[in-house]
Copies of this chain bind each other. A is one copy, B any other.
Amino acid sequence: MDWRARLAEYLPPRRARVDAALEAYLTGAPSMPRALLEAMRYATLGAGKRLRPILCIAAAEAMGSDIEQVIPTACALELIHAFSLVHDDLPAMDNDRLRRGQPTVWVRYGETLAILAGDALFAKAFELIAVQAQFSPPDRVVQTLRLIAEAVGASGMCGGQVEDILNEGQAVSEETLRFIHAHKTGALIRASVLSGAILAGADSVAVGALDVYSRAVGIAFQITDDILDESASTEQMGKPAGSDRARRKATYTALFGVETARIHAQRALQDALDALEQFDSYAEPLRWLAYYAVERDR
């Protein structure tokens, strides 16, 4: 299947719609401190794959809904992703100075504004989840609120980041590695897919299948990230190549080597495709995105 050609048609209009919405949502009220808004916009606009919004949109489309019906939540997911990157880059965290080839928020605006811009992006995300109620029944909005909040918190992204940092420089077990990735990146990817489906009115069988799909896709993305970090050049990555290894972060490639990691990624891709078996052609974009997770080159 020529997923590359299909995605090349599928992604650009959706990314453009998400980018336009983010731009509109991140317009300041007169009472908003200018420097804070600037840091929030710097952290969010511009480069970025918009993977989480796209997964949310593709899941909604798989259930017969359309882009416009989930735009606020799709953007909320991107703001949460942006917030997490801003905080992860801080000196007290990963101490990263470069992201997507640009100075990180704390390098550009200072630590104080980086912490607060992260917090404010996080708050804005939940404001957008409330805005979603203009398009969706409020009980569905509350369901996605819970799902997304849990995905971010101590049992999700924050918990994964803690484990990752606590284990830095140590040899980790496969179990710990899977825990870190399932929480640090997997939880929000899962919430992205499921929130799109729930807002579109998916029944519990469909949600169950997409749960399996989203976990597999999360793993596929993460393994591929590790492989790309290992093999790509600095220019391709927008951050120093091999930087995770240099810092002795827990990675699939460090644990298994590149070849075995590739096999794991292929298995995750197959799991993701199998989970979609019951779905019709509306779910095609979710299938292309699973291929993309594993076979992209950046």
Contact = CB atoms under 8 A, between A and B. Distances in A.
Interface of A: 28-29, 31-33, 35-37, 40, 87, 90, 92-93, 110-116, 118-120, 122-124, 126-127, 129-131, 133, 137-139, 141-143, 145-146, 148-150, 152-159, 161-163, 165-166, 179, 183
Nearest to A146: B130
A119 to B, nearest CB: 5
Contacts of A148: 126
A115 B36 CA distance: 18
A90 B116 contact: no
Nearest to A125: B149
A158 B93 contact: no
A131 B154 contact: no
Given A123-B149, A162-B33, A28 B139 contact: no
A133 B139 contact: yes
B138 A124 contact: no
Contact of A133 (B33, B123, B142): B142
22 contacts: A33-B154, A33-B159, A36-B158, A92-B111, A112-B162, A113-B162, A115-B115, A116-B161, A116-B162, A118-B119, A119-B122, A119-B158, A120-B153, A123-B149, A123-B156, A123-B158, A127-B149, A130-B143, A130-B145, A131-B146, A133-B142, A141-B142
A118 to B, nearest CB: 8
The complex is assembled from copies of this chain, and their number is: 2
Q: Is chain A's interface secondary structure helix, strand, loop, or mixed overall?
A: helix
A124 to B, nearest CB: 5
A123 B183 CA distance: 14
Contacts of A35: 162, 166
Nearest to A131: B146
Nearest to A33: B162
A29 B129 CA distance: 25
Contacts of A112: 92-93, 162, 165
A116 B162 CA distance: 7
B158 A120 contact: yes
A126 B138 contact: no
Contact of A154 (B40, B137, B156): B40
Contacts of A157: 123
Contacts of A142: 130, 133, 138, 141-142
A36 B154 contact: yes
B163 A33 contact: yes
A138 B146 CA distance: 12
A159 B137 CA distance: 31
Contact of A90 (B115, B123, B137, B183): B115
B111 A154 contact: no
Contacts of A120: 153-154, 158-159
